[in-house]
Homo-oligomer: A and B are copies of this chain.
Amino acid sequence: MDWYRLEDVAKEGDLVELYALKHTRFIFNLRKGEVFQSHRGMFRHDDLIGKPWGSQVKSHLGKPFLLLQPSLSDVLLEIPRVTQVIYPKEVGFILINMGIGPGKQVLEAGTGSGGLTAALAYSVGAEGHVTSYDARADIQKVAYENLKRLGLDVRVTLKLRDIREGFDEKNQDAVFLDVQNPHDYIYQVRGSLRAGGFFGCILPTANQVIRLLPVLREAHFGFIEICEILLRYYKAEAERFRPVDRMVAHTGFLVFSRLVNLPYDDEKASENPREIGDESVDQVLE
């Protein structure tokens, strides 16, 4: 079940976004009898139910808001969080680069605030499934609340466990790690991926990438790609078109790889620079 329904008007249970001034957004579920409060006034949910999407609504103080359905991007940016969340620019690229879409079986660790979990669950659709591991009960509780609010909890199995002990799942289409030390879990990942399956992780520092690479090669992963995504906004001014003054300079290095089970030629593998990362595969195919 999807939060983003195809009705013309807001209904009980729908996820709504009330947009106020200056990028202020409030995202919540409509529940009969409940009240939404903000510094710009309050709304009774009952007054919002039945209102057309895209219309302007006023708080009891007469302050106007816009009633919208949030995009996945809005949801990710506004999700209640207890950990660092992954930005939409990275999420979109992760989904498309790791072949994640309707029907896929995906494994994730750690769950964190559940932002990426929600994006994965949204993307795999009703026929797919997401399993997400975290060792911290309090944090996973936040993720659960976030998923439930989005109606995505039914597509997700949350497991409370230190992944050092390994994953229960086998033959997963994709495994994503958002943990500090992915190099410690590569053999666990390997045991859960099907042949040709996708591995991905996001790492803030160069040191973490440097530590991860030899373990990936040792565990016979191939097609290693490392990249970073920079997103630059422009002022929406026809007469003065130019980039905005400041931007986010870094969110993390993305590392992608696929499980390929080839007999490596170690002598060749010790050779010099490879462009973009799949030359280790080339060395075997040559």
**Minimum CB distance partner of A223 in chain B:** B19
5 residue pairs of the A-B complex, CB under 8 angstroms, read A19-B223, A56-B285, A93-B93, A125-B127, A246-B248
Which of the listed residues A65, A66, A96, A285 has the most CB atoms from chain B within 10 Å of its own CB? A96
Cα of A239 to Cα of B260 in the assembled complex, Å: 23
Q: Is A242's CB within 8 Å of the partner chain B?
A: yes
For A269, the chain B residues whose CB sits under 8 A away are none
Q: Is A195's CB within 8 Å of the partner chain B?
A: yes
Q: Is A88's CB within 8 Å of the partner chain B?
A: yes
User: Contact: B249 with A247, CB < 8 Å?
Assistant: yes
**Minimum CB distance partner of A239 in chain B:** B207
User: Contact: A213 with B196, CB < 8 Å?
Assistant: no
For A66, the chain B residues whose CB sits under 8 A away are 222, 260, 262, 281, 285
User: Contact: B276 with A195, CB < 8 Å?
Assistant: no
User: Contact: A96 with B69, CB < 8 Å?
Assistant: no
User: Contact: A261 with B93, CB < 8 Å?
Assistant: no
Cα of A89 to Cα of B37 in the assembled complex, Å: 38
For A222, the chain B residues whose CB sits under 8 A away are 66
Question: What 0/1 pattern do residues 204 to 233 of A give for CB contact below 8 A with B?
Answer: 111101110110000000111111111111
Tell me how many chains of this kind the complex includes: 4
A141 to chain B, nearest CB (A): 26
User: Contact: A229 with B226, CB < 8 Å?
Assistant: no
Q: Is A123's CB within 8 Å of the partner chain B?
A: yes
A119 to chain B, nearest CB (A): 7
Interface size class of A (residues with CB under 8 A): 35 or more
Question: What 0/1 pattern do residues 248 to 286 of A give for CB contact below 8 A with B?
Answer: 111001000011111000000000011111111110111
Cα of A23 to Cα of B210 in the assembled complex, Å: 23
For A55, the chain B residues whose CB sits under 8 A away are 195, 261
**Contact status of A249 and B250, CB under 8 A, knowing A88-B96, A231-B229:** no
Cα of A245 to Cα of B205 in the assembled complex, Å: 12
Q: Is A47's CB within 8 Å of the partner chain B?
A: no
**Contact status of A243 and B250, CB under 8 A, knowing A68-B258, A96-B71, A99-B4:** yes
Cα of A206 to Cα of B72 in the assembled complex, Å: 28
For A83, the chain B residues whose CB sits under 8 A away are none
**Contact status of A227 and B233, CB under 8 A, knowing A194-B53, A249-B245:** yes
Cα of A246 to Cα of B239 in the assembled complex, Å: 27
A223 to chain B, nearest CB (A): 8
Cα of A93 to Cα of B88 in the assembled complex, Å: 7
Cα of A211 to Cα of B230 in the assembled complex, Å: 25
